[in-house]
Structure 1
Amino acid sequence: MARCFSFTATRDQCFRLSFSQSGLKSTSTDLGEGTVMHCWVPRRRQQSKPNLLLLHGMGANAMWQWNEFISPLVSRFNLYVPDLVFFGESYTSRPDRTEAFQAQCVAGLMTKLGVDTMNVVGISYGGFVAYSMAAQFPERVEKLVLCCAGVCMEEKDMDEGMFKVKSVDEATSILLPQTPDKARELVNLSFYKPVKTMPSCFLQDFIEVMCTEHLQEKKELIQALHKDRKLSNLPKIDKSPLIIWGEYDQVFPIELAHRLIRHVGKDAKLVVIKDAGHAINAEKSKEMFRHLKSFLIDPLPPSKFKSEVNGHKAD
């Protein structure tokens, strides 16, 4: 018997209404070769405003991860919030599953939308894509923010015990949960202070609405991130990014943040958010926004622009 009510579908509609009321509109763009990308774009683009691209991580779709940030950012930027390929309403018939391909799709989308240059913020998987955009299209990326994005991980890190999970298959079963128990594992892994009570009926509803479409393709995205990954193969970028990390991130441990700082060098800035896990956009949204604002809107003078942990100088 068909369900009469879905909490997840209702919440998704609320997010859609929230984005629309903030001055964004839903668009789908055909990039050719079987690739279509959905994106929230300004209803009225203002040339006087800088452009800001928000890239989501693994999860439902872009709305679920960026909803808390739209209202405070939309007054300062022309906002672009796409669903990455195989999330939300974006898809492709091409076989490529690399973050480099995702970055090319996003860049192609922005070209189609008439946006030449932009600031880019990527969280988790979206940070992999953001980094790849900065590497492939340096002239198009202005300021870059990477949030809890383990781009410096290596394939050997899993075998050496860096992660809570012991294999890519185990990671995939948690990141793409298909049972309420796996969904609970994901919440416990992602949050420093996870919700204690999560009824199975709500979790099952979320899985059925948000976690079943393009399941195999998403598994391949995760596998492509890990397979044969070596730091020596990670391209350098000419940006000095802001790097934001949760102090107790269990998905991408904070060692990867320090590794990224060493790899990028220059004047990269690391901010570690205390008492936060991987899902800093949900767990510490106000604090995360404060650091985004400081970097993107009213940056400190160059002499004070150093690594900090919650406002204090970091080692």
Structure 2
Amino acid sequence: MPLIPTDDGCLIHAEVEGLADAPVLMLSNSLGTDLHMWDQQAPELSRHFRLVRYDRRGHGKSSASKTRGSMERLGRDVLAVVDALKIDRFNWCGLSMGGMVGQWLAANAPERVQKLVLSNTHYYYPDKSPWDERIRIASEQGVATLAPVQIQRWFTQQFISAHPEVVDGVARMFASTGLDGYVACCEAGRDMDFRSVSPRIKAQTLIIVGSEDKATPPSAGEDIHRMIKNSSIVTIDAAHLSNVEKPQAYIKALLDFLL
């Protein structure tokens, strides 16, 4: 798929799979990962949907810019992708930062979003200091320096011990993230505040939480569930990247909701 330009000149890499006339499902990954985060789900999902995966700006094969990060900016990148692909409406599944972008889309472009999956995500961080610290370390020492800490937050110790090859692949993905894209997305996460926005969401919504998630604890998903009236919630026995740690449970939750 060609790179898709946004209104500020950034180029977004997207990949499309599945039947051209099937309902559209977009997948949006976590900060510090690329579209291959969904490789375990893509084959099954592409049997049912026109599946669209993309690399967030500054991640994977997408370019970055010096633009200050915001959820609006990341949401408008998504709209540029779907407009270029001539997609009017789409289902959305976003994990972590992908869930944050999904909240912006469902509240600000409700006519575009059909069903909404918000997975292992948050809506507001009253304490900005952890984000500022990540930005400082990445800027001074490089994004790769943060990979070991993130891995401990993203997976349970049991999974790390049992599947080192999977964990190493995710760590390499994280370490390859460009500094400008990483910083901009940290700014977007730090500054978001959906406390008054998410209650406006009308799309039928599934919230997925990980019982062992240290990065976006289950309480955050429970708060979002209370804010969005037309929502349900499912708990998966996993940490933050629940789709990687428990792929079968994750795909079942998705398909039960979307189909």
Q: Give the TM-score category using the shorter length.
A: 0.7 to 0.9
Offset at 1:102? Answer: 0.8
- CA displacement 1:206-247 (0-9 Å, x = unmatched): 55x752552133123213321374724656211231000101
Deviation at 1:279, TM superposition (A): 1.2
CA RMSD of aligned residues (A): 2.8
For residues 160-171 of structure 1, the aligned pairs below 5 Å read 167-171=130-134
Name which of 80, 103, 106 aligns with 1:108.
80
Pick 1 or 2: higher relative contact order, CA cutoff 8 A, min separation 6: 2
State the distance in 2 between where 1:183 and 1:198 align. Answer: 17
* 1:285 alignment counterpart: 247
The answer for the alignment partner of 2:125 in structure 1 is 154
Specify whether residues 40 and 239 from structure 1 end up closer, same or farther in structure 2 by C-alpha distance, changes over 3 A only: same
Residues 206, 248 of structure 1: alpha-carbon distance in 2 compared, 3 angstrom cutoff:
closer
Task: Determine helix, strand or coil for the equivalent of 2:184.
Answer: helix
Number of the residue aligned with 1:37:
12
Query: Corresponding residue for 2:101?
Result: 129
CA distance in 1, matches of 2:70, 2:7: 18
* Equivalent residues of 1:188, 1:194 under 8 A apart: no
What is aligned with 1:243? 207
Task: Please tell me whether Structure 1 or Structure 2 has the larger radius of gyration of its CA atoms.
Answer: 1
TM-score (norm 2): 0.86
Tell me which of 144, 149, 152 is aligned to 1:178: 144
Q: Distance in 1 between matches of 2:68 and 2:51?
A: 27
Say whether the 8 Å CA contact 1:57–1:123 is kept in structure 2: yes
**SS at structure 2 position matched to 1:91:** coil
User: CA 1:109 to 1:258, structure 2 compared with 1: closer, same or farther past 3 Å?
Assistant: same
What is the rounded CA distance, in whole Å, between the counterparts of 2:131 and 2:234 in structure 1? 28
Which of 195, 198, 213 pairs up with 2:160?
Answer: 195
Q: CA deviation at 1:178?
A: 2.3
Which aligned runs of 4 or more in structure 1 are off by greater than 3 angstroms?
169-174, 196-199, 202-207, 227-230, 232-235
Q: Go from structure 1 to structure 2 and tell me whether the alpha carbon gap of 1:148 and 1:29 turns closer, same or farther (over 3 Å shift).
A: same
- Would you say 1:55 and 2:25 are equivalent positions? no
CA-CA distance at 1:109 after TM superposition: 1.1
Query: SS at the partner of 1:231?
Result: coil
Give the equivalent residue in structure 2 for 1:15.
Answer: none
- Residues 145 and 244, structure 1, Cα contact 8 Å, conserved in 2: yes
Give runs of aligned pairs for residues 222-237 of structure 1, distance below 5 A: 222-227=186-191, 229=193, 231-232=195-196, 236-237=200-201
Gaps of 5+ in 1: 1-25, 159-165, 298-315
On the 8 A contact 2:117/2:207 being kept in 1, the answer is: yes
Among residues 13, 28, 39, which one is paired with 2:3 in the alignment? Answer: 28
SS in structure 2 opposite 1:155?
A: coil
Partner SS for 2:73:
helix
Does residue 259 of the first structure (1) align with residue 233 of the second (2)? no
What is the distance in 2 between the residues matched to 1:219 and 1:123? 19
Contact 2:209 2:234 in 1 (8 A): yes
The number of equivalent residue pairs is 252
In structure 2, the residue matched to 1:20 is none
Equivalent position amino acid for 1:272 in 2:
T
Q: Which amino acid aligns with 2:144?
A: Q
SS at 2:6 equivalent: strand
Separation in 1 of the partners of 2:243 and 2:81?
24
Distance 1:197 1:178, change over 3 A: farther
| Percent identical | 25
What is the one-letter code of the residue matched to 2:249? E
CA distance 1:71–1:263, shift in 2 (3 Å) = same
- Could you tell me which runs of 5 or more consecutive residues in structure 2 were left unpaired when the two chains were aligned: none
TM-score, normalised to structure 1's length? 0.72
SS at match of 1:114: coil
CA distance in structure 2 between the aligned counterparts of 1:55 and 1:204, rounded to whole angstroms: 18
Distance in 1 (CA, whole Å) between partners of 2:197 and 2:105 is 16
SS in 2 for 1:167: helix
Residue 203 of structure 1: how far off its partner (Å): 6.0
1:184/1:95 Cα in 2 relative to 1: closer, same or farther (>3 Å)? closer
Question: Which residue of the partner structure matches residue 7 of structure 1?
Answer: none
